[in-house]
């Protein structure tokens, strides 16, 4: 799902998309000429492998997302803000979702058996 930067109103627009078992929904709000705030939630179940025994495990996801989407290169002194840059004048919510899913998958996850023997 893509939304053109120029079409995001300051009153906000709802969005919803999904990837595998994860639903991503929330609101986009125009913050400035080239910045859109994305506030939403990731919900669902992600399948990943146990980092110790490689058994498949289901990861329950319930994450809040709060980041800025920048139309082009983000130039600001503001730090500690998660920013994603887009270069085709659209906010690609699937790109945001995929990057969040990759971050979740890159964490260490152990199945219940491996957790017990810790
Ligand atoms: Zn395991």
Q: Tell me what pLDDT residue 75 has.
A: 83
Q: Are 40 and 65 in contact (CB under 8 A)?
A: yes
pLDDT at 79: 72
pTM: 0.87
The mean per-residue pLDDT over the stretch 14-28 comes to 96
Q: How far is the CA of 110 from the centre of ligand 1 (A)?
A: 5
Enclosing domain of residue 97: 2-116
Task: Note the pLDDT tens digit of each residue in 70-98.
Answer: 999 998 777 777 899 999 999 999 999 99
Is the separation of the CB atoms in 28 and 17 below 8 Å? no
Report pLDDT for 25.
98
Tell me how many domains the chain contains. Answer: 1
* CA of residue 56 to ligand 1 center, whole Å: 8
CA 57 to centroid of ligand 1, rounded, Å: 8
Q: What is the predicted pLDDT for the residue at 57?
A: 94
What's the CA-to-centroid distance between 15 and ligand 1, angstroms?
36
In the reported structure, the alpha carbon of residue 111 is separated from the centroid of ligand 1 by a whole-number distance in angstroms of 4
Per-residue pLDDT tens over the stretch 54-75: 999 999 999 999 999 999 999 8
Expressed in angstroms and rounded, the spacing between residue 47 Cα and the centre of ligand 1 is: 13
């Amino acid at each position: 799902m893509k939304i053109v930067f120029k079409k995001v109103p300051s009153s906000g627009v709802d969005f919803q998309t999904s990837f595998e078992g994860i639903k991503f929904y929330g609101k986009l709000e125009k913050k400035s000429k080239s910045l859109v705030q994305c506030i939403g939630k990731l919900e669902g179940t992600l399948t990943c492998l146990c980092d110790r025994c490689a058994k498949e495990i289901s990861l329950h996801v319930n994450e809040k997302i709060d980041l800025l989407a920048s139309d082009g290169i983000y130039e600001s002194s503001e730090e500690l803000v998660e920013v994603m840059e887009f270069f085709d004048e659209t906010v690609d919510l699937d790109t945001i979702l995929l990057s969040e899913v990759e971050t979740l998958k890159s964490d260490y996850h152990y199945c219940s058996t491996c957790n017990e023997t810790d």
